Structure 1
């Protein structure tokens, strides 16, 4: 049994309250949410820069826990911090092209892993072509699994606007991927 197992049954709200003074509770929050934060960062800044963004996110979370009032769910707050960190990272590297280098292939099936890495790279490129608002809404829905109401809360826009952005973003992605030769 690990230390994180002691915190596993706790909900995010309880962990946040404990994490203000307990580094182990904060570690449990990081363990619980790091993969989702990394996925969201990778699609917004590229896989090569995602690790740095994740680190920035959890530093910001740690610093801001004392001021987190709980008006929104912790996950909503975390997604907003993640998106803000992504935009800061993108702004800081405006002169550097998007890193779409495929991840190394898994040793068990190099051909399949290479195809998957190529597809992920193309999808990341396609997402980068979307306007910021559409990319944000689509990535929160498809990668983070948030429902429309949660996305509206994270982005601060009306529910209908979220639905419209996702619909337009998906259509633009389909068109871009189709032109790139990717078939469903």
Structure 2
């Protein structure tokens, strides 16, 4: 199944569980990364589960007007925002849960860096946070981000540029620089 395209898997998924599982294996890591950075690592697994339950329920409504990954990222963003709305007002002040350390010193530094990055991402306006997350964390191109967000490509580029600049300023103020 892994050699099939998303389109082929979508056709097979309603009748073959292995096809849906192949879609999950292919796309879950990106969805998890996006969710982890938007809602925190402690809640990312729940979001990923919710996303793929929703995809499974609604796969028949996917018309193919856009790429499956574009539709999937929109579903993932909606799930993240739904969770953040439920958490408010503590959502913007929450710190992601650290993962269990294998290397206590190195992992502690990485955890602190992730926490500061998550904090900085949460300081961005939602349109910038969404655009930066889709570009930097999901690796989507500008056209795909524009389609997901319903914006023009130029607007997406502007949001990403402003978001990156704001992140740089926020992280620099926290003592984090590109060199270390």
TM-score (norm 1): 0.92
Name the counterpart of 2:66: 72
Verify: 1:146 aligned to 2:140, yes or no: yes
Match of 1:63 among 48, 57, 60: 57
Name the counterpart of 1:44: 38
SS in 1 for 2:26: helix
Q: Report matched runs for 1:94-105 at 5 Å.
A: 94-97=88-91, 98-105=94-101
Name the counterpart of 2:48: 54
- Whether the aligned pair in 1 keeps the contact of 2:95 and 2:118 (CA below 8 Å) is no
Q: Report matched runs for 1:1-184 at 5 Å.
A: 7-97=1-91, 98-106=94-102, 109-184=103-178
Report the alpha carbon displacement of residue 64 of structure 1 after superposing the two structures with TM: 0.8
- Whether the aligned pair in 2 keeps the contact of 1:39 and 1:143 (CA below 8 Å) is yes
- Whether the aligned pair in 2 keeps the contact of 1:134 and 1:168 (CA below 8 Å) is yes
- Whether the aligned pair in 2 keeps the contact of 1:133 and 1:165 (CA below 8 Å) is yes
Structure 1 moving runs of 4+ over 6 Å: none
Report the alpha carbon displacement of residue 104 of structure 1 after superposing the two structures with TM: 2.1
- Distance in 1 between residues matched to 2:156 and 2:124, nearest whole Å: 14
SS in 1 for 2:75: helix
Name the counterpart of 1:4: none
Report the alpha carbon displacement of residue 20 of structure 1 after superposing the two structures with TM: 2.0
- Distance in 1 between residues matched to 2:20 and 2:90, nearest whole Å: 33
Deviation track 1:132-182 (CA, whole Å, cap 9, x = no partner) reads: 100000000000000111111111100000000000000000000001111
- Whether the aligned pair in 1 keeps the contact of 2:128 and 2:163 (CA below 8 Å) is yes
Q: Report the number of matched residues.
A: 176
TM-score (norm 2): 0.94
Q: 5+ unaligned residues in a row in structure 2: which ranges?
A: none
- Distance in 2 between residues matched to 1:21 and 1:143, nearest whole Å: 32
Deviation track 1:59-93 (CA, whole Å, cap 9, x = no partner) reads: 11001111111111000000000000000001111
